[in-house]
Structure 1
Amino acid sequence: MDKAKNKKKNLTPEGQFRLSLDNCSKTKDLSTAISLYESAISEPSIIRLSNNHFNSFLYICSNSFSDPSTKNDAIQFGFRVFEHMGSCNITPNEATVTAVARLAAATDDGDRAFELAKGVGNCGKLRTYGPALFCFCKMGEADKAYQVEEHMRSLGLQLEEAELAGLLKVSVEKEREEKVYQYLHKLRMSIRSVSDTTAEIIQSWFGGEMATKVGLSNWDMGQVKETILQNGGGWHGLGWLGKGKWLAQRSQIAPDGRCLTCGEQLVCVDIDRAETERFAESVASLAMEREVHSNFKEFQDWLEKHSDYDAVVDAANVGLFQQNFAEGGFSIAQSSLLLL
């Protein structure tokens, strides 16, 4: 205990400042953080503020605006810190931008939050764009929310349930049926099992009046079946089919894959055509990368010319099947028997 006290006593002013700031971050103490900041800028020769210091102040601000009693102070102080950071010619990093974007979103300024996030470039993360996306969704600015999502997708950022649910909700509220359809299937593909909150958004669409108006009255059932088959048996992707009132309710699935509400049997869904092509491209790329002298490209060209074949047998693997024992080895008989 005495050693700890002596250690604190022997800290330099900068060390004591860092320790106090860390404590403010842990306790989310905005008022003490503001006092520390004021003392630092009043004695610049003693305390030299760094990128880490500024980020700590901004972190405290972004965690304080959720409290109505500290919201205004947190926002004003946060922007003041950010402007000071710029005057010191300190380049903001992704953590800096994320914190300031949250402050902008707290003032319902989604445009500024989006511009800040775009300034990070390819270093941006899901959390960097989240403030702008959620702000636009909350404000009902659907088109701007779609722009954020499109930009995120161009950077290869994968949206999670919270972001998809926000986009789905604003699409439902604005009665954008084509977007509702799109985000429902994005949830299906990337999330599959949604939370209760997201389920309520889905039910609100199918229980609303707009859902009864959209959809085709006539469609080609043959085309639907063919498209479902091409998509791995999961969905057709042709939009809303049929008009009228929907019945959307919660259900349980039996161990044998049967829906306990409608009685329909669930089926296994294969990957769709686009996923199949991406998988094939990645396998080919990996094969040619690992095998310097590989003739895999020639094999691909051969397959293109003989596309009438339904299957290709890997004789090497067939010949080695179940041969992992002491006397085992490549079995020509196994390969020959299969080919016959």
Structure 2
Amino acid sequence: MSDLSPEERAAKRCKTSEAEPPPPQQLFAPVTLTKYTSFYRSYNPPRKKTKNIPPEIISTRRSIQHCCRDNDLSKGLGVIKAAIEECVYLEAQSFYNLLNLCEGSFSARVVHVGTPRPRDDVVVNEAETSADGAATSVEVVKEMSNNTVEDTGQVEQQLTQEEISLSDRLAYANTIHSLLSQLNIPCTEPTYTALIRLASRVGDFDRAKSYLNEAEATQQCKVKLRMYSALLRGYCGDYFHEIHDNDGDIMRQKVTQEKLINALKVWIRMYNHSGTSNDPNLFGEGISPKIQLSEIEYASLIKAATCLRDGAVMERMLSDLAEKVLVPGLETTESVLDWFRSDVGGSHEDSALKQVELPPPEGVSIGDVQCDNGKGWRVYKGCTIDSNTGQLTLGAQEGPKTDCNNNDAQEIFKLKPVELSDSAWATMRRMNIKIVLEGQVEGHMSKYQGGGKGKKMPRSINGNNATPNNNKSQNNNNNKRGEWRTNAWKQFESFIENHPPYSIVIDGANVGYFQQNFSNAPKHVDYNQIDWLLRHLLEHSNGKHIILFLHERHFSPKLCPPWALKIINAWDGNLAPYEKLTVYRTPFGMNDDWYWMHAALMSGTNSKPILAVTNDEMRDHHFQMLAQGSFLRWKERHQVHFDFGSFDRQLDRREVLLEYPSAYSRRIQRVKGSFGTDAIAIPLPKKGDEGRYVDGYHVADESAPEEETYVLVVRANE
């Protein structure tokens, strides 16, 4: 440290930070770096981060956080330069924040219609968007969240300013990255994401790949999709690089077939690098925990394929998009339509797919997306649908109208139900078993079960202790419990295999606790509600079996009221209408959701569908079963929602209101008209679309229409 007083050092750092930063190669003098490296390695920071921290460290940390808030890279570089010259200990997080500030991208992944809308609190919003690899860290958000900003317009102006060119930002980031290497500070995944994204924005793909190589080899870096996404999208030309046309306007870097091939190789690299430590017998090919592309990456590849007229790539991307994304965002839909709008002369025979071997597809191909007759496609927007039959009513056509419009209007286009593949069914069943026996699916990093059920409980199976700190007695108890759990599940599997064919499973607890959260509500389920639903279903089951799943505690004398015994005895009897009913009592220590879920998943593509009656959105399974797309599609085709109406004195029960799955699948799909005309239907967002997206959380924008609408792309044959 220098001989200056703390006040003098602070004043000097402030003066240095306000000056223009030197060129990247002159940011740190070699002598200064040598001195600081020696100081940093010999410095012993306080063990407790919240106590006895020197004021100059706190001051420097806050200064960098303020620079992140204001997107002021010039000042941030001045702060770190002054701190290093004064030998002020810099925490690793301060370096990470500065690297994210160099990246300078505050844009969130907004391509999807379900992206959360920005809040009024500009500072917190911009900091939180750093979860995508930019801006500041969670620590910055926590410390800055209480700060108030009088002029939000001024903050927005600061957030969007770019006083330093992208190439210089990359040079500064590389200098700081080199300093981290000298100080033996490992970079984290958000930091590598910022570096890769910045290099991709500049168009320096070799440097971006170098950062990616380092990230994959760094133990502290747990790779995520966003890290690969930056490079993939860069190859696809998603970023504006510092390339100017004759008028001085910034333009996109041209997409070439070589770059498209490189983008596809990034996808292959991501797929091969992820999920390598998991049981290959548990997870199907192309299904998580392998990192998979999201909507925004598919949209980028679709744009690149459209630019190069690569029909094979477009067919694969649209097929995967149809399987992965339930309802594509408007921007993605426009990217898809751009292909069909420009498809009048076929595509190039030399496809990028001849040069690479992609990961296994998500499902079956959607079919040919090229119109080689030179007549192109007709696009109809705002098509409405009959929810009872799935029949589409054509909306307005893009472009000039022809005589073919009358033929299209007379033709009937109807959506059909699209079931999951056999591999998807099998994978979800195996995942459910894994959740039961081990408490989670390998590769699922969350500490929580989801669905508000708290933290996951460690389990011990086959002698593998999940809690190594337990003593020997506890280990034995865990092993015995694991064996009991396995035996209980095997008994259930044997019960399901030997049971007569059934068509409906019922989540008894969900029905029994429906609207029972009022004050002084009983702890037991409403047995009458369950009985009303059972009687209604059995009377309309056409002789098919129904299984009710209810936890064993609901039959215990301590919980079950005396008046309910008559109802329970009727369930167990053979009198009408209960002769086709089976009541399965799930054992103590086991979640009843696992049981009815497994029974519902015994269906498949070659068997009759099994419906699950429940209002539970099953988010605890959704967040653990890593085949999210398949799981949400299963819900769409097999979940039955229920409600109760007014009391019917004649039937001696309340009216049962059931919402069955629709007669069609709301997804991108190939359709054939009544005259044989080929078409592709694309669903559009609508209000109330909560839970339809892969994350299970986002809701549609308020501007979305209330009714269900589609875009229909019809092949022009005349």
**CA–CA separation in structure 2 for the residues paired with 1:59 and 1:167:** 26
Aligned partner of 1:331 among 551, 572, 579: 572
Aligned partner of 1:254 among 385, 391, 409: 385
The aligned counterpart of 2:229 is: 130
Please tell me whether the aligned partners of residues 62 and 103 of structure 1 are also in contact (alpha carbons under 8 angstroms): yes
**CA–CA separation in structure 2 for the residues paired with 1:275 and 1:56:** 41
**CA–CA separation in structure 1 for the residues paired with 2:78 and 2:365:** 61
- Is 1:278 aligned with 2:400? no
1:149 and 1:273, CA in 2 relative to 1: closer, same or farther beyond 3 A? same
Please tell me whether the aligned partners of residues 64 and 74 of structure 1 are also in contact (alpha carbons under 8 angstroms): no
Aligned partner of 2:180 among 54, 76, 85: 85
5+ residue gaps, structure 2, are 1-9, 12-52, 107-159, 238-252, 275-289, 350-362, 395-408, 439-481, 506-544, 582-718
Please tell me whether the aligned partners of residues 546 and 580 of structure 2 are also in contact (alpha carbons under 8 angstroms): no
The code of the aligned residue for 1:260 comes to T
The aligned counterpart of 2:82 is: 39
Please tell me whether the aligned partners of residues 133 and 145 of structure 1 are also in contact (alpha carbons under 8 angstroms): yes
Structure 1 position 284, deviation (Å): 4.4
Please tell me whether the aligned partners of residues 502 and 547 of structure 2 are also in contact (alpha carbons under 8 angstroms): no
The code of the aligned residue for 2:329 comes to S
The aligned counterpart of 2:326 is: 192
Which stretch has the larger CA shift, 279-288 or 136-145? 279-288
- Is 1:177 aligned with 2:321? no
Higher strand fraction (1 or 2): 2
Aligned partner of 1:70 among 140, 150, 164: 164
The code of the aligned residue for 2:381 comes to R
**CA–CA separation in structure 2 for the residues paired with 1:60 and 1:117:** 19
**CA–CA separation in structure 1 for the residues paired with 2:104 and 2:549:** 62
**CA–CA separation in structure 2 for the residues paired with 1:283 and 1:125:** 24
Which stretch has the larger CA shift, 161-170 or 121-130? 121-130
The aligned counterpart of 1:268 is: 417
Structure 1 position 285, deviation (Å): 4.1
RMSD over equivalenced CA pairs, Å = 3.8
- Is 1:201 aligned with 2:335? yes
**CA–CA separation in structure 2 for the residues paired with 1:316 and 1:201:** 46
1:181 and 1:144, CA in 2 relative to 1: closer, same or farther beyond 3 A? same
The code of the aligned residue for 1:151 comes to R
1:206 and 1:70, CA in 2 relative to 1: closer, same or farther beyond 3 A? same
- DSSP 3-state at the match of 2:265: helix
Please tell me whether the aligned partners of residues 111 and 132 of structure 1 are also in contact (alpha carbons under 8 angstroms): no
Greater relative contact order (CA < 8 Å, ≥ 6 in sequence): 2
| C-alpha distance after superposition, 1:197-255 (max 9, x if no partner) | 2222212211224664699xxxxxxxxxxxxxxx7xxx764545875332233233235
Structure 1 position 295, deviation (Å): 6.9
Please tell me whether the aligned partners of residues 212 and 246 of structure 1 are also in contact (alpha carbons under 8 angstroms): no
TM-score, normalised to structure 2's length?
0.38
Structure 1 position 20, deviation (Å): 1.1
Structure 1 position 114, deviation (Å): 3.3
- The sequence identity of aligned pairs, in percent, is 19
The aligned counterpart of 1:96 is: 191
**CA–CA separation in structure 1 for the residues paired with 2:345 and 2:427:** 34
**CA–CA separation in structure 2 for the residues paired with 1:73 and 1:286:** 49
Please tell me whether the aligned partners of residues 502 and 546 of structure 2 are also in contact (alpha carbons under 8 angstroms): no
Which stretch has the larger CA shift, 154-163 or 123-132? 154-163
The code of the aligned residue for 2:164 comes to T
Which stretch has the larger CA shift, 285-294 or 117-126? 285-294
1:236 and 1:117, CA in 2 relative to 1: closer, same or farther beyond 3 A? closer
**CA–CA separation in structure 1 for the residues paired with 2:549 and 2:179:** 71
**CA–CA separation in structure 2 for the residues paired with 1:214 and 1:311:** 52
**CA–CA separation in structure 2 for the residues paired with 1:64 and 1:282:** 38
The code of the aligned residue for 1:131 comes to A
The aligned counterpart of 2:501 is: 311
Structure 1 position 286, deviation (Å): 4.8
- DSSP 3-state at the match of 1:247: strand
Please tell me whether the aligned partners of residues 196 and 211 of structure 2 are also in contact (alpha carbons under 8 angstroms): yes
TM-score, normalised to structure 1's length?
0.75
The aligned counterpart of 1:3 is: none
- DSSP 3-state at the match of 2:378: coil
- DSSP 3-state at the match of 1:259: strand
| C-alpha distance after superposition, 1:164-211 (max 9, x if no partner) | 100111122222211101111222122232233222221221122466
Higher helix fraction (1 or 2): 1
- DSSP 3-state at the match of 1:251: strand
Structure 1 position 75, deviation (Å): 2.2
1:241 and 1:129, CA in 2 relative to 1: closer, same or farther beyond 3 A? closer
**CA–CA separation in structure 2 for the residues paired with 1:273 and 1:240:** 25
- DSSP 3-state at the match of 1:268: coil
**CA–CA separation in structure 2 for the residues paired with 1:89 and 1:102:** 23
1:274 and 1:55, CA in 2 relative to 1: closer, same or farther beyond 3 A? same
1:248 and 1:331, CA in 2 relative to 1: closer, same or farther beyond 3 A? same
The aligned length equals: 306
**CA–CA separation in structure 2 for the residues paired with 1:17 and 1:152:** 37
1:298 and 1:64, CA in 2 relative to 1: closer, same or farther beyond 3 A? closer
The aligned counterpart of 1:17 is: 60
Structure 1 position 299, deviation (Å): 5.6
